[in-house]
Structure 1
Amino acid sequence: MSEENGRNDEELHGSTAVSGMYENWFLDYASYVIMERAVPAIEDGLKPVQRRILHALKEMDDGRFNKVANIIGSTMQYHPHGDASIADAIVNLGQKNLLIETQGNWGDVRTGDSAAAPRYIEARLSKFALEVVYNPQTTEWQLSYDGRKKEPVTFPVKFPLLLAQGVEGIAVGLSTKIMPHNFCEILQGAINTLKGKKVTLYPDFQTGGKIDITDYNDGKRGGKVRIRAKIEELDPKTLVIKDIPYGTTTSSLIESIIKANDKGKIKIKKVIDNTAKDIEVLVQLAPNTSPDITIDALYAFTDCEVSISPNACVIHEEKPQFLGASDLLKHSVDQTVDLLRQELEIKRGELMEKILFSSLEKIFIENRIYRDIEECETWEAVLETIDKGLDPYKPQFYREITQEDIIRLTEIRIKRISKFDTFKADELMRKLEEELKETEYHLEHLTDFAIAYYQNLLDKYGKGRERKTEIANFDTISASVVAANNAKLYVNRTDGFIGYGLKKDEFVCDCSDIDDIIVFRKDGVCQVTRIQDKVFVGKNIIHVGVFKKGDERMTYNMCYVDSKSGRTMIKRFQVLSVTRDREYDLTKGGKGSKVLYFSANPNGEAETITVYLTAASKARKKVFDFEFADIEIKGRGAGGNILTKYPVRKIQFKAAGVSTLGGLDMWYDEVVGRLNTDERGNYLGNFKPEDQIIVFYKDGSYELTSFEITNRYEPSQVLALQKFEPEQPVNAIHYDGDNKTYYVKRFMVETSTQNKRFSFVTESKSSKLVFASNTAATRAKVTYKEGRSKSTTEMDLSEIVDVKGWKAIGNKCPVQNVQEAQLIVEEPKKEAEVDIEGLKDSIKSEVEEEENQLGLFGGGKKEDNPS
């Protein structure tokens, strides 16, 4: 059979020749290895596996160390190539001591010792990484390989990371090898680039040694560097190697020396490795051997000198390109300037919005526009009245005043109106305007701002990163040693010592050695100090614990005797911010005052105590109870309330109390997709620890999440986000792509798994969710299309369909071509009237005359209406 006939037979039977497979598939495989595995991207200097590790670390970041095994597991959500490759990449990043802070045995690049198993070592992001690598507002995102999560395409890195860390990779048909450079010199080079000066960068290595950069050629292909170990003559019979060449280890170096000796190239007697904190390899010479000749021989025949050819290949504009070190620096500087511009523009927009609303608030309160809404009987009338009152001032704003702005004005609390301070408001606006002016100045002088940014990095992180490799201009990147290990806190109350080294004393709690510790003493003094192995904080300690700055839930209850008056005082207070190692007196300041009772309450609990007076006191009742709930929580400097003026024998705990602090008010900012407690966006409600959030997505799925502020929601995908009401059904209107029909369905949420999406519409690609709500309200205002015109109607979803299973398709919607739907809150007029009445009541208390004029008491006199 001829070759042509054979090929035709293969084609007829649907088979493909091996040569065809090779031609069609090998190029795809090569492209994948180059783009997605071995070669770093120029934008952030990271390979995909490194980028995914850093993304997983950021998602896990809470300031504490994480087991590397856990980091690997989190990274596998984004990296589909097994745990071994991830583990090796994490160790590689950790050993560079730039982006990751490490804890445990991470091996040693000098000796070649491998790291301990992932379950034994820990890591977290360094402060440097948190500052220069991450910014979700300027990050481009993509779906992970399985489409379940999102990951960055590249990080918005504002630092030449590729030059600082260096990289090696072998792909199909090409390789990359970029030398690491000195941290400080890179930053100085970036500054000089912005100043228009010529910059030349040379490599520098953690392992030290000496480097010849004569043929470096800016790190491009064709260049090379020669690196030598530092060899000194200890005595006529002994040489000592103190630094080794980049890419070698003490083990490989010793092995190469032994091999050279076995081949007769050099004559040595013995090699001893004394490496510990510093490298020290002793080479004992054979009798009658010249030390100088042996040093030359070591350079010539062993790994005491190596030659490395750099090859700076990176992914640029979606293809591999070969660039030089100066090109990489220039690209990074340009990218950093652009990123700084984006961040400044974002900041400017936020400041302009703050100024606008502050101005609106001031106008609303100072011009008493809130009084004009007293006689309004509908919500629409309230909005219209406020809008009309703002008309004379609208030209001064940089944009139009929207209904959302007006609604925010109606949400201002009466307490805020009554306590409004024009001076403070003007001061706040002046500060915002100054900050805006400064931001605009930085935008106009972007180059100077970028120079200052690089200089700040140099001042902040440059210390301790001195050059290690001799020759010319550059240091090796030094590892910054961060003492941040998990530890246990102990206390010696009598002698006044705390620390993690007092293992024979009283154990307090687990902590980190980067934590601050708060201490309360019998004399009423409070102090915050950084934890150490052992530190003196004063005798007679009554309480010690980990201090969390700004913790508004932690409340301290205390009773003390004031030495000046002899009275026993009682107080509840919080310690939100302090100066470290400064002593704060919690009493009225009298010398000799002492604490009789003290408790720390993580959630503002208010217990009941029993007070025992002395037998000689003149009080009739010598034993009585007191509840801390009866007094307010104030600052630490408050003197407190008088508990009793009589001498107190002792105070005892009687009964535990409940928290006097309410839940946490949460808002959702639809623009950035973030939760907040700053009253930005839609108010979600008051959250207690057990509460959850339910998110409805436009694709017809829902997800339960916690209410952590670190949560991030993609605004373009979210249809509605609400506080989850487990006792209420979900009311939804959805479009079924198979039937091309709009349906109404109601179902109970039966799942409890957090951070997992569950779809409740059909799987058709065109199926979508139009409306969803998880509140008691069931009425909705529906906008639908009839021909070319739009119409609206109100419908009660509970009358259209009963509560069924979440898989049920539901009942057909009474109207089709639904464009949107909005929830109608139950009895909106009554709620509006309540809000208006509340505003009226506040005004009544201040302006008696207006109360009667407005007829707020049904036409009668105030005395006739005690209600």
Structure 2
Amino acid sequence: MSEENDLTKDGSLHDSVPVTGMYKEWFLDYASYVILERAVPAIEDGLKPVQRRILHAMKEMDDGRFNKVANIIGQSMQYHPHGDASIGDAIVNLGQKELLIETQGNWGDIRTGDRAAAARYIEARLSKFALEVVFNPQTTEWQLSYDGRKREPVTLPVKFPLLLAQGVEGIAVGLSTKILPHNFCELIEGSIEILKGNPTNVLPDFITGGLADFSEYNGGQRGGKVKVRAKIEEEDSKTILIKEIPYGTTTDSLIDSILKANDKGKIKIKKVVDNTAKDVEIAVQLAPGVSPDVTIDALYAFTDCEVSISPNACVIIDDKPVFLNVNDILAYNTKQTKALLKRELEIRKAELMEKLLFSSLEKIFIENRIYRDIEECTTWEAVLEAIDRGLDPYKPDFYREIVQEDLIKLTEIRIKRISKFDAFKADELMKRLQDELKEVNYNLRHLTDFAIKYYENLLAKYGKGRERKTEIRAFDTIEASVVAANNAKLYVNRADGFVGTGLKKDEFVCDCSDLDDIIVIRKDGKCMVSKIQEKNFMGKDILHVAVFRKGDERMVYNLIYLDGGSGRVMVKRFQVLAVTRDKEYDLTKGTKGSKTLYLTANSNGEAEIVTVYLTQGAKARVKVFDFDFSTIEIKGRGAGGNILTRYPVRKIQLKMEGVSTLGGLDIYYDPIVGRLNTDQRGELIGNFLGDDKVLVCYKTGEYELTSFELTNRYEPSNVLLIEKFDEDKVISAIHFDGGTKTFYVKRFQIETTTLNKKFNFITDHKQSYLKVVSTEKQPQISVKILKGKEEEVMEYDMDMLIDVKGWKAIGNKLSSHEVKEITLIQSKKSSQEETVDSEEEAEDDEQIEVGKTIDLSVKKDDEEQLGLF
């Protein structure tokens, strides 16, 4: 704008208005509007304004029949000042939660991501639960709608923790809210516990099912986290099935994430087939030679089969956003429900007292023929005065003063009613009213008990079919580098010092993953770990290169090196457990001229024997001698080592391959996550060496032999026995045959050798199951049987009930009477044997301690070579 236009007629400038203040005010107004009117729910009813207006409109339309959603949208637009699309989406969202709205037609599928049909094709009505719990015009606070033509509720008087049951998600200006849905039955049970004065801790439950780890839930507050996994089953060695998907995903998005992980080489699969119909089923067909257990872990690590959800419980209280714990929200809603129930009782009490008052007035008016006193009255005032005068003797018995409105109501009684008045029926009616009033007064005095009964009634009426869908689990941590498929090949150029996946003309090292770290040990005694790359310089004269496993205590390096400072030849055994990437570490003493003479990397702590050849000019009398690495201890990488010899070494040769000096591996089974571990979590199942196997017996009546790989997975709810496999042990089992409805006992030995294949050793009937299994020598059971009408408890040695037979034999009947209960008890003989074994082990330990004082006399020359002096 030119300066001429800015000038007024008198030549002065217009008054300028700064826009900064306007922006600030407008922004705050907009932010407040979005927070309060669109994105964040009110704590009282757990609803956003659009949801509240939809439910109010549906209540106005309610006649028990379904209404077209298009009509509901039109009715809601009288209260919600926004477009029909936003209202339609909100209705579909409410309908898919299957709590407040009954639906008819194609409402979409949250599992597959399919959208609902158009609003003109689908129908809805309020559920019986919503009609009972959400609405009560007498306890509702009202306000004018946006155009002032209608009344709408400020909040609905919801007598249930609706906010936590449905969950909510919204993004406002400067804040967001994300409250996860919780289980219907558990919320009611939690409210009952709160009313009883007990603490409660409610956890989310998702309509899509799946598995969830709530160890970091933090009450749904900011900073918390929920890990949700798909439920995956192993159908056979070539196929795994995804039966339930994580909350917030769809079958389409899940399949896309699997295909992307396969394209990137993170997992190896052949095909993915979506068989979802009534129930979710995604079949993942594996590539040949791929382990199902490792693939399941890889799906959790690299795809949407595991997702992490960050809750953020934010609600509106007194027109302000407040961040709360979900247990505090539940306590607030429970207190509110109790207050609403009290208001309803008080309203009902007032109604009953008014009915009793008028019934009493009516009876007095008719029985005492007060109506005849008004026959000669000539004015309306005289009529009212005559009736009032006739009631005077009875006024002290009424709970309140008789007002003119009461007198007018008496004049409105019809002659027909007076002529047919039945005093007995009137007394009966008053008796019923008095009984109800007595009950209401009792409930008001015992309000907490009344609220508990109210919740129990809700649970009984609406709880069926709303059991928990999401299984609560503690998840194990999956190392992505361990389960990643080997999608690359590692090469090395030892002389020039290059390592990587792109050196295809150089020496092949091994298959690897692009997530792996690589360890290199060079001739100069330096060690380095680096992330795998296409081509990476890691120093010349590489002696050892391999995939590095952090914290691998079984990997032991045997090293002989020349110390450049002293000229001595040193020997050491060490581990590399944790390092900083791309940092060089000295495995020698770091002096100039130090170099590696001999190096081996041993994945199970093997200690070989080598022959050491000294130079011809060495002054030592013995110029060739053997050295056993098992004679020295395993230490850290920074240890200097022991002196092997002070004389110059010509060469070192391997004489004999070594055996592990670490002993067997103690394997534990964690029944919470269903995984093997070496961290002493769970129960010790045995000490394992190379070819040892794990025996697993399942409740389904199957047994399986597996390796002791830590990547193995076992379904905890189905495992009845897991231990180290001993082919000489006899398995004693009691199983129920679903066909004959009879318990059988059998004893057998494992005759199969195939790993990772389940063999069924009970009948094939779908109701058959394994009740008891043991590998004790003399297992004992306690059996409660029903003889006639009397119960009798018997104890049996299972080895006395039946001989050892083939694993396919059905066995013998446990009892001809009805079996009520079977309990496995520890055999006394077995306990005694274990005690004897432990005593023998203790004696062996004592002998070992004594055996340490052995003769260490050796020749002086040999001692010099071994560095003992």
How high is the TM-score relative to the length of structure 2? 0.53
CA deviation map 1:164-183 (0-9, x unaligned): 00000011111100010000
Aligned AA for 1:343? E
Task: Give the letter for the 2:70 counterpart.
Answer: A
Instruction: Quote the residue 2:116 is aligned against.
Output: 115
Residue 273 (structure 1) aligned with residue 270 (structure 2): no
Q: What secondary structure, in the 3-state scheme, does the structure 2 residue paired with 1:163 have?
A: helix
8 Å CA contact 2:211, 2:473 repeated in 1: no
What is the match of residue 296 of structure 2?
295
- The answer for the alignment partner of 1:746 in structure 2 is none
Question: Which residue is 2:604 aligned to?
Answer: none
* 1:407-446 CA-partner distances (Å, limit 9, x unpaired): 2212222222222111111111111111111111111111
Q: Distance in 1 between matches of 2:325 and 2:369?
A: 66
Write the distance in 2 (CA, Å) between the matches of 1:269 and 1:454: 52
- 1:27 deviates by 1.9
Larger radius of gyration: 2
Q: What residue ranges of structure 1 are gaps of 5+ in the alignment?
A: 474-867
Distance 2:192 2:267 in 1: 48
Give the share of equivalent positions with the same residue, in percent: 78
CA distance in 2, matches of 1:35, 1:424: 55
1:367 Cα deviation from its structure 2 partner: 1.3
Change (3 A) 1:272 1:18: farther
Query: Aligned partner of 1:322: which letter?
Result: F
Does structure 1 residue 386 correspond to structure 2 residue 387? yes
The residue number in structure 2 matching 1:235 is: 236
> Which residue matches 1:843?
none
Aligned AA (2:61)? M
Check whether the contact 2:70–2:119 (CA below 8 A) recurs between aligned residues: yes
For the pair 1:127 / 2:154, whether they are aligned, the reply is: no
Q: Deviations over 1:349-388 (max 9, x none)?
A: 1101100010011111111222222333333322222111
Letter in 1 for 2:186: E
For 2:434 and 2:185, locate their aligned partners in 1 and report how far apart those are by CA, in whole Å. Answer: 36
1:203 aligns with 2:188: no
Equivalent residue number for residue 179 of structure 2: 178
Q: Which residue does the alignment assign to 1:310? A: 311
1:447 aligns with 2:430: no
Aligned-pair CA distance for 1:57: 0.9
Which residue does 1:809 correspond to in 2? none
Q: 1:279-306: per-residue Cα shift (whole Å, max 9, x none)?
A: 0111111111111110000000000000
**Which residue identity does 1:398 align to in structure 2?**
Y
Deviation digits for residues 720-769 of structure 1 (CA, Å, limit 9, x no counterpart): xxxxxxxxxxxxxxxxxxxxxxxxxxxxxxxxxxxxxxxxxxxxxxxxxx
1:514-570 residue CA offsets vs partner (Å, 9 max, x unmatched): xxxxxxxxxxxxxxxxxxxxxxxxxxxxxxxxxxxxxxxxxxxxxxxxxxxxxxxxx
Indicate the SS of the match to 1:311: coil
2:161 is equivalent to residue 160 of structure 1: yes
| Separation of aligned partners in 1, 2:128 and 2:47 | 18
The one-letter amino acid paired with 1:257 is: I
- Which residue is equivalent to 1:411? 412
Residues 766-811 of structure 1 deviation map (CA, whole Å, 9 limit, x = unaligned): xxxxxxxxxxxxxxxxxxxxxxxxxxxxxxxxxxxxxxxxxxxxxx
By how many angstroms is 1:185 displaced?
A: 0.4
Number of the residue aligned with 2:477: none
Match of 1:364 in 2: 365
SS in 2 for 1:241: strand
**Displacement, 1:145?**
1.2
Q: 1:28: Cα distance to partner?
A: 1.7
Distance in 2 between residues matched to 1:46 and 1:168, nearest whole Å: 11
Q: State the 1:18 CA deviation.
A: 5.0
* Matched positions, count: 466
SS of the equivalent of 2:124 reads strand
Q: Note the aligned Cα RMSD (angstroms).
A: 1.8
CA distances 1:808-852 after superposition (whole Å, capped 9, x unpaired):
xxxxxxxxxxxxxxxxxxxxxxxxxxxxxxxxxxxxxxxxxxxxx
Cα 1:91–1:14 change in 2 (3 A) is: farther
**Equivalent residues in 2 for 1:522-601 (5 A)?**
none
- Distance between the aligned counterparts of 1:290 and 1:200, measured in 2? 39
The one-letter code of the counterpart of 1:165 is Q
What is the aligned partner in structure 1 of residue 141 from structure 2?
140
Shift of the alpha carbon at 1:131?
Answer: 0.9
- Partner residue, 1:465: 466
Q: 2:467 is aligned with what amino acid?
A: E
Counterparts of 1:452 and 1:33, CA distance in 2: 39
- 1:244-264: per-residue Cα shift (whole Å, max 9, x none)? 000000010001000111111
Instruction: Write the mapping of 1:667-678 to structure 2, written as runs, cut at 5 A.
Output: none
Q: Structure 1 residues 384 and 53, CA, compared in 2 at 3 Å: closer, same or farther? A: same
Structure 1: how far apart are the matches of 2:424 and 2:349?
24
Partners of 1:147 and 1:405 in 2: CA distance:
35
Pairing 1:428–2:443 present: no
Give the Cα separation in 1 of the matches to 2:439 and 2:322.
40
CA shift, 1:324, in A, is 0.7
Q: What is the rounded CA distance, in whole Å, between the counterparts of 1:131 and 1:15 in structure 2?
A: 59
What SS is found at the alignment partner of 1:434? helix
- Relative distance call for 1:461 and 1:120 in structure 2 (3 A) is same
Corresponding residue for residue 612 of structure 2: none
Q: TM-score, normalised by structure 1?
A: 0.53
Structure 2 Cα separation of the partners of residues 280 and 464 of structure 1: 21
Q: For residue 40 of structure 1, what is the amino acid of its counterpart?
A: P
Cα deviation, residue 71, structure 1 = 1.0
Residue in 2 that maps onto 1:88? 89
Shift of 1:156: 0.9
Cα distance in 2 for partners of 1:12, 1:345 equals 68
Give the Cα separation in 2 of the matches to 1:337 and 1:170: 31
1:144 shift after superposition: 1.2
Q: Check whether the contact 2:227–2:307 (CA below 8 A) recurs between aligned residues.
A: yes
Q: Residues 403-802 of structure 1: matches in 2 within 5 Å?
A: 403-471=404-472
C-alpha distance 30-12 of structure 1, shift in aligned 2 (>3 A): farther
Q: Deviations over 1:559-589 (max 9, x none)?
A: xxxxxxxxxxxxxxxxxxxxxxxxxxxxxxx
In 1, Cα distance between equivalents of 2:306 and 2:372:
85
* Letter of the 2:156 counterpart: F
Amino acid aligned to 1:223: G
In structure 1, what is the equivalent of residue 320 of structure 2? 319
- Shift of the alpha carbon at 1:17? 4.7
Q: Residue 472 of structure 2: SS of its match in structure 1?
A: coil
Taking the aligned partners of 2:317 and 2:404, their CA distance within structure 1 comes to 46
Measured in 1, the distance between the counterparts of 2:157 and 2:108 equals 30
- Partners of 1:403 and 1:31 lie apart in 2 by 49
Unpaired segments of 5 or more residues in structure 2? Answer: 475-869
1 CA distance for matches of 2:126 and 2:377? Answer: 56
- Name the CA distance, whole Å, in 2 between partners of 1:148 and 1:403: 34
Could you tell me which amino acid in structure 2 is paired with residue 417 of structure 1?
Answer: I
Deviations 1:97-139 (A, max 9, x none): 0011110000000000000011101111111111111111111
CA distance in 2, matches of 1:154, 1:432: 32
Q: After TM superposition, give the deviation of residue 59 of structure 1 in Å.
A: 1.1
Distance change (3 Å), C-alpha of 1:368 and 1:18: closer
Secondary structure, counterpart of 2:416 in structure 1: helix
Residues 376/122 of structure 1: CA separation in 2 closer, same or farther (3 Å cut): same
Partner of 1:687: none
The change in CA–CA distance for 1:416 and 1:30 in structure 2 (over 3 A counts) is same
What is residue 564 of structure 2 aligned with on the other side?
Answer: none
Letter paired with 1:97: E
User: Residues of 1 paired with 2:461 and 2:350: CA distance?
Assistant: 28
Further displaced range: 348-357 or 418-427: 418-427
Instruction: Write the letter of the residue equivalent to 1:314.
Output: V
Give 1:745's aligned residue.
none
Residues 412 and 21 (structure 1), Cα distance of their counterparts in 2 relative to 1, 3 Å cut: closer
Q: 1:356 to 1:293 in 2, by over 3 A?
A: same
Q: Contact 2:300–2:306 at 8 Å: present in 1 too?
A: yes
Match of 1:190 in 2: 191
Q: In 2 relative to 1, CA 384–112 (structure 1 residues): closer, same or farther, beyond 3 Å?
A: same
